[in-house]
Copies of this chain bind each other. A is one copy, B any other.
């Protein structure tokens, strides 16, 4: 998982092996790899990201793409069977929860309809609370912050979420903030879905410096030019919101009910309560 992504893209040094899996031309550190400062005396940061069935893959892939070139990223779930994202992408975790390093630089979780099951799953919440208690940064994108909340990791912290679910953060003792990326001590949360790219670059700069973040932004040609200006409820306007509600049904519903239920048992899984 340590492949140097945009090294591969830009220099095009990767080839495809007989097993059909992409492999680097050689396994030795490539040109310049050890020239760039990395945190903790040359160690690549360890990133633990939670996969789950029904996740919104884009929540995770923004930061995963940004971080994977310079960090070791672990994509973990309860087992390593295939899972399906909410948009129909079929994925295989790189390891089980127990395979994730115990002392992480970053614990990350994104959102998605599958989180209704995750927020009432003791095994997963216990994992999140355990790794979150020791991780250097405890992070989320979109409604992933509600999973952090359910694991008791946002009590007394400011945080953000997808715009439609801000209020639910308060159920977990967090203070909802409307912003693209919210940092409160070592908790960093991003807004809905596409905020993961902005979140990822913000986090990367904190860990490995502004220049590394800028090089990554350049490699990913992240110079956004949306063809419309409808990315927030205010900018989209009442007519678009009304059409959207007509199309997908009223917002909230089961997600809020799941948060209420999860908040009732919040803290059961935190290390200090064991």
Interface residues of A (CB under 8 A from B): 1-16, 20-22, 30-33, 35-36, 53-54, 56-58, 61-62, 64-65, 68-69, 73, 75, 79, 81-94, 111-114, 116-117, 142-143, 162-164, 180-181, 191-195, 197-198, 201-202, 205, 210-211, 213-215, 217-228, 230-233, 235-236, 240-241, 243-244, 246-255, 258
Contacts and interface: CB of A to CB of B under 8 A. Distances in A.
A54 B87 contact: no
A68 B112 CA distance: 14
A82 B53 CA distance: 17
Q: Which of A142, A162, A247, A258 has the most CB of B within 10 A?
A: A247
A85 to B, nearest CB: 8
Given A12-B254, A14-B114, A215-B240, 12 more contacts: A1-B88, A3-B86, A11-B254, A16-B116, A58-B220, A61-B61, A64-B87, A180-B225, A192-B219, A194-B222, A218-B236, A223-B226
Contact of A201 (B53, B228, B240, B241): B228
A13 B92 contact: no
5 tightest A-B contacts by CB? A192-B221, A223-B231, A22-B54, A14-B113, A12-B255
A218 B195 contact: no
Nearest to A215: B244
Q: Which of A10, A57, A210, A251 has the most CB of B within 10 A?
A: A10
Contact of A218 (B11, B36, B57, B231): B231
Contacts of A195: 221
